[in-house]
Chain A
Amino acid sequence: MFYREAGDFKTSYTDDSQTFPIKFDRYRYYVVLAVGFGIIPFIINDYWANALLLPFLIYAIAAIGLNILVGYCGQVSLGTGGFMAVGAYACYKLMTAFPDVSMFVHVFLAGGVTAIVGVLFGLPSLRIKGFYLAVATLAAQFFLVWLFNRVPWFYNYSASGQINAPERDVFGIIITGPNAPAWATYLFCLIFLAFCAIIARNLTRGTTGRSWMAIRDMDIAAEIIGVNPLKAKLTAFAVSSFFVGIAGALFFAVYLGAVEVGEVFGIQKSFLVLFMVIIGGLGSIFGSFAGAAFLVLLPVVLKVVGVDVLGWPTDIVAHLQLVIVGALIIMFLILEPHGLAQLWRVTKEKLRLWPFPH
């Protein structure tokens, strides 16, 4: 009743090939955009921004990026943390070298640098497949983190070895540093997320995305019917790293402000983003959002319930969190290997008939 394709007539090819061809989907999309851009910036405060919204927006970008690589192209990567570090350090070097240039340019360029690095580490994927590739991407993770730790040029020879985001603005509004207002940082990240999501959505339903999926489903067969595996795999690595690099740059410059590379961009981060992709749903843009929201919310909820309501010590809650996350991942894989996105699909299927199922 609420969700249906029937009666939604298209009279032109442009209508038929738009991003959301079904009316309900399209309206939902407009509503989400309106709430995100029009309402939340006015009611946001520092706690909400820092505890929930900023991490959600940034992880969603990273999850979309990783989903393109793992979910659409089938190349499992455990190097996300390392690529986020590339984005963060590229952004830092650009911010300090060109203080007058807009932050938008810096973040985009940081994504571009990460894309180049990603293609470089994606090259072995042409020879190595499956698990061997997953482990090979760990080489990127460990090497990059080590590189940023050991080569002083990357952190501008600062004594602590950390990088700190200097205060920068966009059109006169401060975006980075401790004085940045919550609504400005939120909007800044949201613009990037919206941009990335639209690009990803449209890439994945076009030629590029179809060649990725062909490679994922069976690479030899895809090669025989004329998909160029070199091009498909490397574009997947490039686009994925571009998004992940943007996420890394935002994570450092806007969200944290100061970064110690081994702690922030370690292997745990790679796993976290991978879990978001799996819990959300492999091969689904909506799933990336859902997975990011779920794993950002979970620790906050557990902390509120465990520490504030039940009054347990924080270390027990931290351990319980590990147990719960682990159990949830296993449960998801057993009950719904296609993730939260599949639940949403099932819901839509139900909505189509509700409330008259016969």
Chain B
Amino acid sequence: MPDQLIYAMEVILNGLMAGVLYALVALGFVLIYKASGIFNYAQGVMALFAAMTLVGIMNGQVPFSHLINATFGTHIHYFGWNVPALFAILLTMAVMVLLAWAVQRFVMRHLVGQEPIILFMATIGLAYFLEGVADLMWGSEIKKLDVGLPQGINLWIDESTFNIFGYGFFIDNLDVVATVIAALLVAALVAFSQYTKQGRAMRAVADDHQAALSVGISLNFIWIMVWSVAGFVALVAGIMWGTKSGVQFSLSLIALKALPVLMLGGFTSIPGAIVGGLIIGVGEKLFEFAIGPLVGGATENWFAYVLALIFLVFRPQGLFGEKIIERV
């Protein structure tokens, strides 16, 4: 087999793995959009917030310590204990549920019935707010996140591909773990929305708010639940990305990576988010591999958008989106 082809295969494999991570973020968007029609730009910042909270709790950092020190002239930074990863994750989840409640209580509740674009702007405002709060609470320096996920080259894949092709593929263990976790997460979400009472209620709300209200479903509760689930997805995405590249501001930019995924897959479809993520992941890695060197590299920044744009011109609702029917 020619070398180029083998390299291309490795690139595709890595692209698939990256795509899974994109899909993980996109999933959070889809959940909220389906249930409440809100396009939640803050999803990326929620991932950042979750990851920072997790690191902060694990290291026993004092929240807002910087601000307290500056105001009262004290010098407190750490409580002086370390929290085990699993317990810290549970605590962070509690914080995310609290956040979901606050968002619903103080923001979204007052904006019911507004135009979608206004809701979208509100989530951009929320993104700014959360980013500032996260920085104030835990400090803005780059942090290492280690919850005990395996990292480094996957030797088994390396060896087995070496035996077949005579060239070992480089696949990060973390990516493999991420793929497994993403698959589990999607399965769990599907099971939740198909087979549980709350999941059914969620789908009912997504279908028709008023009809759902009239059969006695509490919109408030469902929305808090949806934002909590989105917070949970954000936490998972935050752990994955945070372990991969450190917990820092750029983590919130993964939201921007997830947008073309959504456009491609359609805003309302969970399978769309997965398939879109995979297409974007493979597409941008292959493009960078094949065309990138010719045009100066770093094409990953925009390729996904242009791909999604061209695709949308032919199919304006995305791959799996609901058909757009317009009436006067």
Task: Report yes or no: A329 in contact with B125, Cβ–Cβ below 8 A.
Answer: yes
Task: Report yes or no: A325 in contact with B309, Cβ–Cβ below 8 A.
Answer: no
- Asked if B75 is at the interface (CB within 8 A of a chain A CB), the reply is no
Task: Report yes or no: B125 in contact with A330, Cβ–Cβ below 8 A.
Answer: yes
The proximity string for A residues 333-358 relative to B, scoring 1 for CB distances below 8 Å and 0 otherwise, is 11001000000000000000000000
**Which residues of chain A from 123 to 139 have any CB-CB distance to chain B below 8 Å in the complex?**
124, 127-132, 134-136, 138-139
- Size of interface on A: residues with Cβ below 8 Å to B: 48
- Known: A333-B121, A334-B111. Contact between A326 and B313, CB under 8 A? no
Pick out which of these stretches binds chain A: B76-84, B151-159, B222-230, B297-305: B297-305
- Asked if B185 is at the interface (CB within 8 A of a chain A CB), the reply is no
In angstroms, Cα B115 to Cα A76, docked, is 13
- Known: A131-B120, A278-B121, A326-B126. Contact between A139 and B306, CB under 8 A? yes
Task: Report yes or no: A128 in contact with B312, Cβ–Cβ below 8 A.
Answer: yes
Task: Report yes or no: A326 in contact with B305, Cβ–Cβ below 8 A.
Answer: no
A275 neighbours in B (Cβ, 8 Å): 124
- Asked if B320 is at the interface (CB within 8 A of a chain A CB), the reply is no
In angstroms, Cα B317 to Cα A132, docked, is 8
**Which residues of chain B from 88 to 145 have any CB-CB distance to chain A below 8 Å in the complex?**
107, 110-111, 114, 116-118, 120-122, 124-133, 135-136, 140
Task: Report yes or no: A321 in contact with B312, Cβ–Cβ below 8 A.
Answer: no
Task: Report yes or no: B124 in contact with A135, Cβ–Cβ below 8 A.
Answer: no
B131 neighbours in A (Cβ, 8 Å): 322, 326
Task: Report yes or no: A136 in contact with B127, Cβ–Cβ below 8 A.
Answer: no
Task: Report yes or no: B296 in contact with A132, Cβ–Cβ below 8 A.
Answer: no
- Known: A142-B305, A146-B298. Contact between A136 and B128, CB under 8 A? no
- Asked if A10 is at the interface (CB within 8 A of a chain B CB), the reply is no
Task: Report yes or no: B125 in contact with A127, Cβ–Cβ below 8 A.
Answer: no
15 contacts between A and B (CB under 8 A): A128-B313, A131-B120, A136-B305, A139-B302, A142-B302, A142-B305, A146-B298, A271-B124, A278-B121, A313-B70, A319-B140, A326-B126, A329-B122, A330-B107, A334-B110
- Asked if B273 is at the interface (CB within 8 A of a chain A CB), the reply is no
- Known: A128-B316, A326-B128, A326-B130. Contact between A136 and B308, CB under 8 A? yes
Task: Report yes or no: B305 in contact with A139, Cβ–Cβ below 8 A.
Answer: yes
- Known: A124-B313, A136-B309, A333-B111. Contact between A327 and B125, CB under 8 A? yes
B49 neighbours in A (Cβ, 8 Å): none
- Asked if A150 is at the interface (CB within 8 A of a chain B CB), the reply is yes
Partner of B126, one of A315, A328, A330: A330
- Asked if A323 is at the interface (CB within 8 A of a chain B CB), the reply is yes
**Which residues of chain A from 240 to 272 have any CB-CB distance to chain B below 8 Å in the complex?**
267, 271
- Asked if B66 is at the interface (CB within 8 A of a chain A CB), the reply is yes
- Asked if A221 is at the interface (CB within 8 A of a chain B CB), the reply is yes
What residue in chain B is nearest A151 (Cβ atoms)?
A: B296
- Known: A136-B263, A271-B124, A320-B132. Contact between A129 and B316, CB under 8 A? yes
B46 neighbours in A (Cβ, 8 Å): none
Task: Report yes or no: B309 in contact with A139, Cβ–Cβ below 8 A.
Answer: yes
In angstroms, Cα B71 to Cα A145, docked, is 41
Task: Report yes or no: B260 in contact with A135, Cβ–Cβ below 8 A.
Answer: yes
A143 neighbours in B (Cβ, 8 Å): 302, 305-306
In angstroms, Cα B267 to Cα A129, docked, is 13
**Which residues of chain B from 28 to 45 have any CB-CB distance to chain A below 8 Å in the complex?**
39
- Asked if B5 is at the interface (CB within 8 A of a chain A CB), the reply is no
Q: Which A residues are within 8 Å of any B CB, using their own CB?
A: 76, 124, 127-132, 134-136, 138-139, 142-143, 145-146, 149-151, 218, 220-221, 224, 267, 271, 274-275, 278, 312-313, 315-316, 319-330, 333-334, 337
Q: How far is the CB of A143 from chain B (nearest CB, A)?
A: 4
Per DSSP, chain A at the interface is helix
- Asked if B3 is at the interface (CB within 8 A of a chain A CB), the reply is no
- Known: A131-B39, A150-B298, A221-B328. Contact between A334 and B316, CB under 8 A? no
Task: Report yes or no: B129 in contact with A150, Cβ–Cβ below 8 A.
Answer: no
Task: Report yes or no: B70 in contact with A316, Cβ–Cβ below 8 A.
Answer: yes
Partner of A322, one of B120, B135, B296: B135
What residue in chain A is nearest B135 (Cβ atoms)?
A: A319
B129 neighbours in A (Cβ, 8 Å): 322-323, 326-327, 330
In angstroms, Cα B268 to Cα A194, docked, is 45
Task: Report yes or no: B312 in contact with A220, Cβ–Cβ below 8 A.
Answer: no
- Asked if B259 is at the interface (CB within 8 A of a chain A CB), the reply is yes
What residue in chain B is nearest A218 (Cβ atoms)?
A: B328
What residue in chain B is nearest A121 (Cβ atoms)?
A: B309
Q: How far is the CB of B303 from chain A (nearest CB, A)?
A: 9
What residue in chain B is nearest A334 (Cβ atoms)?
A: B110
- Asked if B262 is at the interface (CB within 8 A of a chain A CB), the reply is yes
Task: Report yes or no: B305 in contact with A127, Cβ–Cβ below 8 A.
Answer: no
Task: Report yes or no: B312 in contact with A124, Cβ–Cβ below 8 A.
Answer: yes
Task: Report yes or no: B116 in contact with A132, Cβ–Cβ below 8 A.
Answer: no
Closest 3 CB pairs of A and B: A326-B129, A322-B132, A329-B125
Partner of B302, one of A146, A224, A319: A146
- Asked if B217 is at the interface (CB within 8 A of a chain A CB), the reply is no
